[in-house]
């Protein structure tokens, strides 16, 4: 029932016409300790364990879409290698934050440093399957490259879980001006973001 519901959700958002064989086939990932699960299209690459260190996550490895040291699982959005595309990589991940052992520190992002201009992340709340997450949007930059990060935190079983969606782009626009009308300034990046948000919406944690 859970997988059928998520499959219907993917199809509803993207439309059956986008899938040549009807709704996408889905896989379910369940964490080894049974704490959480989510579904993802089988054509996306699931990275766990040693594969987090070995697998290619995009064209520009200086800004990975998953944190190798803390991610429990990462789903990498499939992209076509195109010289003119700004999208360099996109992924959804679930990780636990070592050293963050109390709920207030976790949900208030007290462990996150202020930006160079002194600004703290602006926090909002979002509910997914009756669980409330604290959401923050951040940016990471390297010369010629940037990454948009959406972080969703929840506290469960005395652990701070962080669900992240990361979209890596080249900083200089290389597409037609019409593509700049999307929030990320790139049509491909926006499509990746919407797809990864569907994976986020499928996450279910076991009750404490």
pLDDT of the chain, 208 residues: tens digit per residue: 455 545 545 544 444 334 455 667 999 999 999 999 999 999 999 999 877 776 655 555 567 888 888 899 999 998 876 556 788 889 999 999 988 999 999 999 998 877 666 677 889 999 999 999 999 999 888 888 889 999 999 999 999 999 999 999 887 654 445 445 567 778 888 999 999 999 999 999 988 6
- Token output for 16: 């059956």
Question: Tens digit of pLDDT for each residue in 27-60?
Answer: 999 999 999 999 999 999 999 987 777 665 555 5
Helix and strand numbers, DSSP H then E, in the chain: 4, 10
How many C-beta atoms lie closer than 10 Å to residue 157's C-beta? 13
Whether 2 is in a domain gets the answer no
Residue 109 and residue 26: Cα distance in Å, rounded? 32
End-to-end CA distance of the chain: 22
In three-state secondary structure terms, 45 is strand
Write out the residue range of the structural domain in which residue 77 sits: 43-205
Whether 21 is in a domain gets the answer no
Whether 13 is in a domain gets the answer no
How many C-beta atoms lie closer than 10 Å to residue 141's C-beta? 10
Whether 162 is in a domain gets the answer yes
At 53, which CATH number?
Answer: 3.40.1000
Residue 69 and residue 37: Cα distance in Å, rounded? 20
Whether 38 is in a domain gets the answer no
pTM (2 d.p.): 0.83
How many C-beta atoms lie closer than 10 Å to residue 59's C-beta? 15
Whether 7 is in a domain gets the answer no
How many domains in the chain? 1
Whether 93 is in a domain gets the answer yes
Whether 68 is in a domain gets the answer yes
């Amino acid at each position: 029932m859970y997988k059928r519901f998520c499959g219907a959700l993917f199809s509803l958002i993207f439309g059956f016409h986008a899938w040549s064989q009807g709704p996408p086939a889905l896989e379910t990932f369940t964490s080894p300790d049974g704490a959480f699960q989510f579904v993802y299209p089988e054509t996306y690459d699931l990275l766990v364990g040693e594969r987090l260190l070995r697998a290619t996550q995009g064209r520009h490895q200086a800004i990975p879409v998953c944190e190798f040291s803390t991610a429990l699982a990462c789903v990498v959005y499939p992209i076509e290698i195109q010289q003119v595309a700004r999208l360099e990589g996109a992924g959804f991940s679930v990780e636990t934050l070592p050293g963050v052992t109390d709920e207030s520190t976790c949900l208030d992002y007290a462990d996150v440093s202020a930006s160079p201009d002194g600004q703290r992340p602006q926090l909002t709340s979002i509910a997914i399957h009756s669980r409330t997450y604290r959401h923050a949007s951040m940016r990471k930059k390297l010369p010629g490259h940037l990454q948009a990060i959406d972080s969703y935190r929840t506290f469960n079983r005395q652990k701070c879980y962080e669900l992240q969606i990361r979209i890596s782009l080249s900083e200089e626009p290389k597409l037609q001006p019409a593509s700049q009308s999307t929030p990320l300034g790139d049509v491909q990046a926006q499509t990746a973001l919407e797809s990864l948000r569907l994976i986020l919406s499928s996450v279910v944690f076991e009750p404490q």
